[in-house]
């Protein structure tokens, strides 16, 4: 057999491969991966109509909301329905097996990026509008370097400081996003300006992941003092040291792959983060490799034990219409963060000003402090709730996940938190 030639993979249209694999058209996906022309049947019938990316439909009603495809919209030309969609894990394994037989899987530099793009579905580019910075505030770029690697990050410093230490919120973006894009979509800088805290946005480079996803599914990136957790923790500490952060009030939040990474930070650095926010993410240890990542995202697997670390107060947002990360994963994040002690439970139902219905479950400790919050967003897809359309993958209809996370975070400090296991 002739040796496998991987040089042509840099030119492959991986978006087309993703669509074909999602549709179960593995033979055509294989043809593209082998460098053959894209099949005519895959060409969009209407080039003016935006194509959905996994569970996301581009905003068309003026609200700026990226939501799951509705029954009243014909998406059959672009993506299969939920009932008809094949299991991505099975599809990827089928491709992997066929390439392994051909002797070429190990030589495919873009397959991992393809898998992550297929799974996470955050394919829109970074924000193009400049991030507003009020007079006296700063939004600066830094680089953290350690023996384990290096990452760039941006820091927002609000105006009007008088020397006091400030809380720090570390924001972990989703796949293909950037610090600027995530800042625009979440509006976290505006909250920092009005409520007085620092915001750090670590950036995942394409050199670490082709789709700029945090590698939440790699065993080496789920451990303390190693991999990406060590880099993110190092950035948090660097912000505290340089910008006058309060070491007892450091928090972490993220979306999708960033949400999964945030859950990992809570599990691996409970002595650093006073609380965590997970939006449309997965629990620490939900996957250990690519096939198990697809399985977990589709609702497979089980709740993973937290380990020996104390429970970190956790707030979760997840849409029950999410077709990228199954909503059961939000429940698993909460289950993993639940301490052994008895908790009180309060469930409320409401409707955000923008029309989104939600169910909010709050669990409190003996002192009446909320240590767990789970917001289940009815009809919402894979998008940051209450975000701005200036950033990618947001649903402006609310509720405002950023404001609710900040409220939850600022009620917790390391100094006041009992050791919960």
Q: Which residues have a catalytic role annotated?
A: 256
List the one residue out of 13, 26, 3, 20 whose CA is nearest residue 97: 26
How far is Cα 136 from Cα 271, in angstroms, rounded to an integer?
A: 32
Within 125-270, where are the H helices?
A: 179-186, 188-195, 227-243, 257-268
Between the alpha carbon of residue 33 and those of residues 12, 52, 213, the distances in Å are 7, 22, 22
Coil, strand or helix at 340: coil
How far is Cα 296 from Cα 58, in angstroms, rounded to an integer?
A: 26
How far is Cα 326 from Cα 366, in angstroms, rounded to an integer?
A: 32
Burial of 40 by CB count in 10 Å (0-12 exposed, 13-18 middle, 19+ buried)?
exposed
Please answer whether residues 177 and 212 qualify as being in contact, where contact means their C-beta atoms are separated by less than 8 angstroms. Answer: yes
How far is Cα 85 from Cα 77, in angstroms, rounded to an integer?
A: 13
Within 73-187, where are the H helices?
A: 88-101, 111-120, 179-186
């Amino acid at each position: 057999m002739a040796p496998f030639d991987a040089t042509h993979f840099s030119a492959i249209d991986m978006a087309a491969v993703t669509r074909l694999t999602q549709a179960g058209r593995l033979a055509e996906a294989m043809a593209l991966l082998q460098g053959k022309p894209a099949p005519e049947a895959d060409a969009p019938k209407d080039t003016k109509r935006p194509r959905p990316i996994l569970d996301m439909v581009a905003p068309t009603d003026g609200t700026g909301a990226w939501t799951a495809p509705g029954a009243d919209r014909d998406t059959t030309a672009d993506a299969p329905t939920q009932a008809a969609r094949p299991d991505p894990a099975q599809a990827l394994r089928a491709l992997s097996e066929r390439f392994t037989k051909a002797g070429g899987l190990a030589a495919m530099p873009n397959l991992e990026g393809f898998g992550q793009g297929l799974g996470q579905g955050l394919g829109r580019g970074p924000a193009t509008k400049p991030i507003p910075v009020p007079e006296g505030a700063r939004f600066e770029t830094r680089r953290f370097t350690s023996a384990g690697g290096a990452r760039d990050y941006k820091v927002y410093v609000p105006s009007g400081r008088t020397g006091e230490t400030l809380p720090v919120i570390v924001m972990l973006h989703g796949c293909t996003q950037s610090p600027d894009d995530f800042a625009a979509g979440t509006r976290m800088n505006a909250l920092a300006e009005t409520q007085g805290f620092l915001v750090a946005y670590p950036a995942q480079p394409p050199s670490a992941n082709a789709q700029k996803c945090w590698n939440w599914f790699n065993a080496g990136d789920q451990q303390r003092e190693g991999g990406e957790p060590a880099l993110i923790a190092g950035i948090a500490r660097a912000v505290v040291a340089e910008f006058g952060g309060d070491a007892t009030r450091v928090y972490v939040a993220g979306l999708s792959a960033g949400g999964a990474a945030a859950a990992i930070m809570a599990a691996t650095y409970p002595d650093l983060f006073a609380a965590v926010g997970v939006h449309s993410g997965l629990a620490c240890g939900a996957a250990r490799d690519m096939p198990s990542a697809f399985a977990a995202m589709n609702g497979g697997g089980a709740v993973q034990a937290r380990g020996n670390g104390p429970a970190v107060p956790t707030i979760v947002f997840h849409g029950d219409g999410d077709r990228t990360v199954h909503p059961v994963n939000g429940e698993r994040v909460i289950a993993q963060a639940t301490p052994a002690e008895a908790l009180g439970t309060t469930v409320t139902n409401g409707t955000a000003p923008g029309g989104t219905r939600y169910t909010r479950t709050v669990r409190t400790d003996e002192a009446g402090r909320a240590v767990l919050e789970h917001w289940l967003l009815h009809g919402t897809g894979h998008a940051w709730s209450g975000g701005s359309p200036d950033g990618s993958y947001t649903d402006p209809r609310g509720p405002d996940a950023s404001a609710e996370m900040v409220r939850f975070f600022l009620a917790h400090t390391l100094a006041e938190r009992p050791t919960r296991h």
